[in-house]
Structure 1
Amino acid sequence: MASIIGLIKRCHSAFISPPSTTGVGAQAEPPLRFGILGAAAIAPPALITPAKSHLDVTIYAVAARDIQRAEQFAKKYGITKFYGGKTGYQELLDDPQVDVIYNPLPNGLHYEWTMKALAAGKHVLLEKPSGDTAEETRRMFDFAERKGLVLLEAFHYRFHPAVQRLKAILDSGELGAIKEISASLAFPKGFIGDDNIRMNFDIGGGAMMDCGCYPLSCLRYLTSSNPTEVLSASATRYPKDSRIDTATTASLLFPSAAPDSEPIKATLRCDFSVPPRFGFIPRWPDITARVTCERGTVELFNFVMPVIYHSITVRPEGGRVRTEKAYTFPDGSGKKGEEWWTTYRHQLEAFVDKLRGREPQTWVDREDSTSNMVWIEKIYEVTGLGSRPQSEFQIPESE
């Protein structure tokens, strides 16, 4: 009963009515003013709701292709300004009151509008995957560094205590070196419809791009390394466009975790449309990271959105099985957070700390973002689908 009550309290504070202030992030200077490119469905949980509990953030403006949609979005979420029409995105970037841009546009538009935002002198919080190709990612980070601006790819799960606790268990040596590892993000059939932008090749669609980037990132994070080889990869092709994968699985090799040991064997799975069991029983999403080590195993269920519920199950050889929860960081760690903070709220805290010149509790840097795109492309190459189309946009040489 206590766990159910805790779940209800966490979800209410996280998604419905977060405290208006937490006392974290208060500054003497004015709050950072965010502008949102596109009235995307991800914006409320990823930024608007988390910002309600951050004293140093205000959602100031939104832009959409349809000005009526922009206006409705602004009114619904209490946003001061809105822009729309063919020039709406650029008008938002040109607004001198905007300090930071949140870019949740379709993958194929990430590069162009992130480069334009950086050219306008704005910091950028960029939804994953960072671009359609690793080359786009490199160019964005090069440009951000040249302009002296902060660019963060929004791998929000990395900022939560749950996945960091899993990594701490692995790094502690309690279970010995990693031998095998797997990560999955798979949704039941019907979760993503045929008309979803994720099914559009021209704007960077595909399961490996959208949900596959998470387990790939997780594998790389937990092993503290990049793959050395894609052993095999296969894709389920979308019947309406064979260039799109609705599911992808891949077997990878990572460097050995201990001297004179075999390379780490890794498995990645992503799926937009897992069929129901027996043809009619819907399946739960599979959002799991599993690690087999020399002296036991450990599994984290729901590494992507652990605030709702998660479990870290440790099975040491010859020892007692235990289940841990990590909704907050350990006392004395010096890391900020409340039990109801979502991955997005933790991410926002770190992002603002970076913008204010403070040390964020963790970070996703340019090497991390670029390497993830490198291996997304390598997996696509092995499946035979190939990379998503690279943007033709070019930043003016004067910039």
Structure 2
Amino acid sequence: MGSMIGRVYSAFVSPPSVTKRGDAIKFGILGAANIAPMALIDPAKSHPEVIIQAVAARDREKADKYAKANNIPEVKGSYQEMLDDPNIDAIYIPLPNAYHYEWAVRSIHAGKHVLLEKPSVSNSIEAETLFNLPELSQPNGPILLEAFHTRFFPSWQYFQSLVNPADVEHVHSKSMIPWWGTGKTDIFFNYNLSGGTIMSMGTYNLATLRLVFDAEPVECLSCETHSFPEAEFKKIDNDFKATFRFPNGGTGVAESTLRGPTIWTPSSVVVTNREVIVPDDSLSPETEKVLKRVLSIQGILFAILWHRIDIKDTFIIRTKGKESKVIRSWTETKSHKAYTFKEAGGKFGGLPGETFWISYRHMLEQFVNKVKGRGTQTWVTGEDSIGQMKMVDMAYEKSGLGIRPTSNFK
């Protein structure tokens, strides 16, 4: 309990501050978003190469209050004024989904590096254009990263290392927000702002399926949704449950809700492997040993608070042939936690990180490394982000709600 309190205090209450280097990356934030303190402002305090320099919002008074509350030196009069400032090196975009595409494109055209909140854009049409902008392939050109922060945390990296995609038979990925955590006026439920559960919480679940199978889905077999009864919400999914088929024949189920039960439960991923033969020289030629493994991780989204990785191995000794008989079976279980890469051990042991680094801080470390031309241990490529939006589109098309609207910005 003491270690958890220490992590939480250092991560969320009083993040350590460091002296900033002269060549630190100066960030501008578009929008006075509630997510920005946790996603960038606080993590930046412990990074010597990141300075939060400015913020811009549609409401100047709101921007002024936001800057004062978060100790941001400058307030810009508009988003474009931010992009026109040569003193700003990088842009963080936590705007509503419908505005991601336009302001990411404008930022790239302005020569700024971009940290773009997920989902990156509203649909794969926008993703194909954005992530293939010619500036992104130029030497020393802008860096663009979709902010899938959970993928950078040690626990997920360790969990994924336990998976052999060829052996995966089934994956079930689940998340939720209780009903009292959202309301009808939230942007989550605004179709014109590209809202919906699949776009918000669900995008995490879809990503875990792609990562575990290490492949893009072949098709969406089903996608069930529910909506508020009023006409303006008819294209918005309050919840969803989608099943996908992957190239190795395995299936993956992703489900989430923005109107869940009163008591919150952690996000989880359960991976069921196919039976595999385990070599055992002690057995007779007429018998064989097989392994059925189930891997699970609980607490993906806020793993810094709590998470647990479980490995459940069921071994079976049986006779060979069509009329196989089980001679004996047993189950072995073990659990693991990795709040740091040192705790993950093995190939991860030497990677950077402190106990108070949340997933966003790990992501920021890699973003800075990329901008500075250094190597990265984890990254989300443009191709990866395009594949992610194609999967989102597959789910919406199968549900009958249709993909989220494409921006008119050219």
Question: Does 1:205 pair with 2:202?
Answer: no
Question: Does 1:41 pair with 2:34?
Answer: yes
The correspondence of residues 224-263 of structure 1 with structure 2, limited to 5 A, is 224-240=214-230, 241-256=233-248, 263=249
Alpha-carbon distance in structure 1 between the residues aligned to 2:361 and 2:214: 24
Task: Show CA shifts across 1:11-62 (max 9, x none).
Answer: 11111111113x9xx75x4210000000000000000000000000000000
Alpha-carbon distance in structure 2 between the residues aligned to 1:187 and 1:359: 36
Amino acid at match of 1:82: V
| Residue of structure 1 aligned with 2:186, choices 191, 196, 199 | 196
Partner of 1:154: 147
Partner of 1:292: 272
TM-score by length of 2: 0.87
Partner of 1:278: none
Name the SS for the 2:98 alignment partner: helix
CA contact (8 A) 1:187 1:286 kept: no
Question: Does 1:9 pair with 2:2?
Answer: no
Gaps of 5+ in 2: 276-291, 315-329
Amino acid at match of 2:171: I
Alpha-carbon distance in structure 2 between the residues aligned to 1:340 and 1:75: 25
Partner of 1:397: none
Deviation at 1:320, TM superposition (A): 2.5
The correspondence of residues 174-193 of structure 1 with structure 2, limited to 5 A, is 177-193=167-183
Name the SS for the 2:310 alignment partner: strand
Question: Does 1:20 pair with 2:10?
Answer: no
Question: Does 1:103 pair with 2:89?
Answer: no
Name the SS for the 1:167 alignment partner: helix
Alpha-carbon distance in structure 1 between the residues aligned to 2:196 and 2:370: 32
CA contact (8 A) 1:187 1:272 kept: yes
Deviation at 1:222, TM superposition (A): 1.4
Partner of 1:381: 397
Alpha-carbon distance in structure 2 between the residues aligned to 1:319 and 1:5: 32
Name the SS for the 2:235 alignment partner: strand
Alpha-carbon distance in structure 1 between the residues aligned to 2:161 and 2:331: 19
CA contact (8 A) 2:145 2:380 kept: yes
Alpha-carbon distance in structure 1 between the residues aligned to 2:228 and 2:115: 30
Question: Does 1:328 pair with 2:318?
Answer: no
Partner of 2:256: 270
Name the SS for the 1:289 alignment partner: strand
Name the SS for the 1:378 alignment partner: helix
Alpha-carbon distance in structure 2 between the residues aligned to 1:239 and 1:199: 12
Deviation at 1:283, TM superposition (A): 2.0
Deviation at 1:128, TM superposition (A): 0.5
The correspondence of residues 96-135 of structure 1 with structure 2, limited to 5 A, is 96-135=86-125
**Considering only CA atoms, is the larger Rg found in Structure 1 or Structure 2?**
2
- Tell me the number of residue pairs that the alignment of Structure 1 and Structure 2 aligns: 369
Deviation at 1:339, TM superposition (A): 1.6
Alpha-carbon distance in structure 2 between the residues aligned to 1:79 and 1:301: 35
Name the SS for the 2:199 alignment partner: helix
Alpha-carbon distance in structure 2 between the residues aligned to 1:76 and 1:306: 27
Alpha-carbon distance in structure 1 between the residues aligned to 2:212 and 2:374: 25
Partner of 2:289: none
Partner of 1:30: 23
Deviation at 1:286, TM superposition (A): 4.1
Amino acid at match of 1:107: N
Alpha-carbon distance in structure 2 between the residues aligned to 1:83 and 1:200: 27
Deviation at 1:185, TM superposition (A): 1.5
Of all paired residues, the percent bearing the same amino acid is: 40
Name the SS for the 1:232 alignment partner: strand
Partner of 2:300: 303
Partner of 1:167: 160
CA contact (8 A) 2:266 2:300 kept: no
Name the SS for the 1:297 alignment partner: strand
Partner of 1:372: 388
Task: Show CA shifts across 1:321-358 (max 9, x none).
Answer: 11100111135633111122100000000000000001
Alpha-carbon distance in structure 2 between the residues aligned to 1:239 and 1:165: 43
Alpha-carbon distance in structure 1 between the residues aligned to 2:176 and 2:128: 29
Name the SS for the 1:239 alignment partner: coil
CA contact (8 A) 1:237 1:244 kept: yes
Alpha-carbon distance in structure 2 between the residues aligned to 1:324 and 1:370: 32
Alpha-carbon distance in structure 2 between the residues aligned to 1:391 and 1:146: 23
Name the SS for the 1:221 alignment partner: helix
CA contact (8 A) 1:189 1:274 kept: yes
